[in-house]
Structure 1
Amino acid sequence: MLLKNLRPADEYDRFASQALEPWDVLFVTRIRQIARDLPPGALVDIGTATVVVPVRLAADHVLKGWHFIGLDLDETMLEGGRPRIEALGLSDTIELKVGDALDLPFADNSLTMAVSRATLHHLPDKLKSLTEMYRVLQPGGVGLVHDMRRDVAPDLLEKFTQMRASVGYPPTHVEEKVTLEEARALVIEAGLDHCTVVTSPSSGMGALGFEILIKKPLLA
């Protein structure tokens, strides 16, 4: 399952559009880098909430020809993002789907990319979420996870807390996050260490979190 956000869709949308801006830019930039080496295909954003990330991607010329799927367990979050999609004329490019991160509603080997931003820490079975992401990727496909570290530097955590406060959001619950080493251990336990790298920047706002990059072998 994917736990539902405790805040109304409009409040979360304001938070995601404003306070998460620096991390969304990092995330979208990373997806653009990866997509340059892949043929256009289907990309799912797992835990998409109000579909901020797919909208950014669909408006990017680098990702022209791709089909985007915003997946979330909470239908009200998806509906909160629908007016933005319609206003930008992206209804044919972005599909909204209610679905579970631990039981993805896609066939094996069917997607070119599967991405997830700030969702892993919400999931009760993080290992299953990684194996599900791997399952739905086609051979040669890429999975990308960005999430916050529990072992984040105190100064960065304070800056993030201030950014959340600026849009009326309370401090994050650091205890629900995983450390960098725990993320690496998850990958090993999932049996994906042969095709996965876990990294975290040593400085800058990106150091608030980590990246899990899965590259499914062509002969998977």
Structure 2
Amino acid sequence: MGLRLGDIAPNFEVDTTNGKINFHDWAKGSWVFFFSHPADYTPVCTTEMGRTAQLNGEFDKRNVKPLGLSTDTVEEHLGWINDVNETQNTTLTFPIVADPDKKIAELYEMIHPGESETAAVRSVFIIDPNHKIRLVMTYPMSVGRNFDEILRVIDALQTSDKYGVACPADWTKGNQVIIPPSVTDEQAKEKFPQGWKALKPYLRLTDVGE
């Protein structure tokens, strides 16, 4: 059985470009954007690593720690980071897991034999401060990730947790959210004193946030 939403993300100890980490200890109290890439010194991966580094401030604002992984060694990662920084105009500081024996990639089911027997596909795991897996996305090797979407879903998850709401299609921060049907109108009056707009009894929109 594969990893599912709500599962505790498996712990591991591993060498990274920032030294050895125990995943749960390293992640404690933070959200984690854990993502795999097929290989160092490849073009799409270089742009993705660069974009992650460029968004460091956005991840910090959301209390998110990025953590990369491929089945390359620490030495290969460190050499490649120089290329990332040079070509993407950035400074990469987040850790990249070295997984040459594929143990972690297999633990997180990042190896898809239909794509490659040895290289990880572009997996994304959003993990909350309780180490629970909250979102999983998988991209093929030929397609780079959409980082606007990654930040959007982190915002949506954090908003849902904070206010006890759901987020509609194409929601972005500042837009109206949905009061869950499990919340009665009487409960909603206390929880959402700002009121709401009912399009249907089961579809109530409200504003939240600062």
TM-score normalised to structure 2 length: 0.32
Structure with higher Rg: it is 2
Structure whose residues are more often helix by fraction: 1
